[in-house]
Amino acid sequence: MFMSKHQNKNKYMPPALCTLLLALFLSCIEHVEPTPNTPTAYQYFVDISAIPRCSGDELRASNYLAAFGRLLSLEVLQDEALNVLIKKSGTRGRENEPPVILQAHMDMVCRKDEGVEHDFDKDPIIPVITGDGWITAQKRTTLGADNGSGVSMILAVLAASGLSHPPIEALLTTEEEWGLLGADKFDVTLLTGLRLINLDMVTEKVFVIGSADDYANPDVLIPINIPTTALMKAADIPYWHYKIDSPLRDKMAEVFREYYGGEEPMLAGLQHAAVECSIFANKMPDADMVSIGPDMEGIHTPNEGMNLKSYNRVYGYLLTLLERL
Residue type, 254: E
The active-site residue, picked from 57, 169, 175, 176, is 176
Please tell me the number of Cα atoms within 13 Å of 118 on its side-chain side.
22
pLDDT digits (tens, 9 = 90+) for 205-245: 999 998 866 554 545 544 555 544 434 444 577 888 888 89
Confidence (pLDDT) at 214: 53
As a whole number of angstroms, the distance between CA 78 and CA 60 comes to 12
What's the pLDDT band for 33 if we cut at 50, 70, 90?
very low
Higher pLDDT, 185 or 220: 185
The active-site residue, picked from 47, 57, 58, 107, is 107
**With DSSP H G I counted as helix, E B as strand and the rest as coil, what are the percentages for the chain, rounded to 5?**
30, 20, 50
Nearest to 291 by CA among 206, 169, 183: 206
C-alpha angle 158-159-161 in degrees, rounded to nearest 5: 105
As a whole number of angstroms, the distance between CA 70 and CA 93 comes to 24
% of residues, the chain, pLDDT over 70: 79
What mean pLDDT is reported for the chain?
85
Q: Which domains does the chain have, with CATH numbers?
A: 40-324 (3.40.630.10)
Query: Does residue 30 carry a pLDDT above 60?
Result: no
What's the pLDDT band for 40 if we cut at 50, 70, 90?
confident
List Cα–Cα distances, 184 to 37, 83, 234, 259, in angstroms.
Answer: 36, 10, 14, 34
Mark whether 107 is an active-site residue: yes
Mark whether 119 is an active-site residue: no
pLDDT digits (tens, 9 = 90+) for 88-147: 999 999 999 999 999 999 999 999 999 999 999 999 999 999 999 999 999 999 999 999
Of 42-46, 80-84, 233-237, the poorest mean pLDDT is in: 233-237
